[in-house]
Amino acid sequence: MESKIIASLDLTDESKLVRMAEEIGQSVFAIKINWPTILSLGKGIIKRLSETSNIICDLKIADIPNTNRLIMEQIATQHPWGVIAHLFTGKDSMESIVKAAGDAKVIGVVAMSNPGASEYLNGNYGNLVEDAKSLGCYGIVAPGNDYNLLERISKMKGNLKIFSPGVGAQGGGYNKALLSGADYVIIGRSLYENPDPIGYIKSLERK
């Protein structure tokens, strides 16, 4: 059975990152890396990690179309499995990413897992989901620690896949997120700080 877990490895120590990726890469659906990793180790780390698992670059790109295109073109040279970008900057901005993505799957943010996201972003999820569908995104990001919001977004998603952060250190539960509509659950600190990450992954999937 295909894993539903995406390991968010926010590590800047290359040897530790590669060792962790090699240890867990075949036990998870994908490994997600963020700006701290890429800025510390260079974009070449994307291709290197791709030898261990699917790689999602969580860049949350959010700029004007031309800048978005330039960022996406650089990342596309490393052939990640997917890239996360923001939808709130408008259809033209996301369209530029989709067009420049090559084979990478584009995942648009419609809501986030931090408390402050409710101030401006999360209340606009309906428009953002519809934009993600019309623009050809592969999936969307929606919080795995706000089950009511996740359920509402799930009812609108159509063929989009939902990627849900906020599980573990931010209080969300793995199985509860899946039951609320997540297709994949993103887990970071509680996985990579665990002394037995493989055991932790297996314990989640047994529940």
Model confidence pLDDT, tens digit, residues 71-87 = 999 999 999 999 999 99
- Residue for token pair 């931010």: 170
3-state secondary structure of 109: strand
Mean residue pLDDT across the chain: 95
CA dist., res. 78 & res. 48, Å (int)? 9
Q: Which amino acid is at 53?
A: S
What is the tens place of the pLDDT at every residue in 118-147? Answer: 999 989 999 999 999 999 999 999 999 999
Catalytic pick among 4, 43, 47, 60: 60
How many domains are there within the chain? 1
Which CATH number covers residue 18? 3.20.20.70
Confidence of residue 207 (pLDDT cuts 50, 70, 90): low
Please indicate whether residue 16 is annotated as part of the active site: no
Q: What's the domain range around 124?
A: 5-206
What is the reported pLDDT for 23?
96
Task: Give the closest residue to 39 by CA, choosing from 5, 68, 11.
Answer: 11
What is the reported pLDDT for 36?
95
Predicted structure pTM score: 0.95
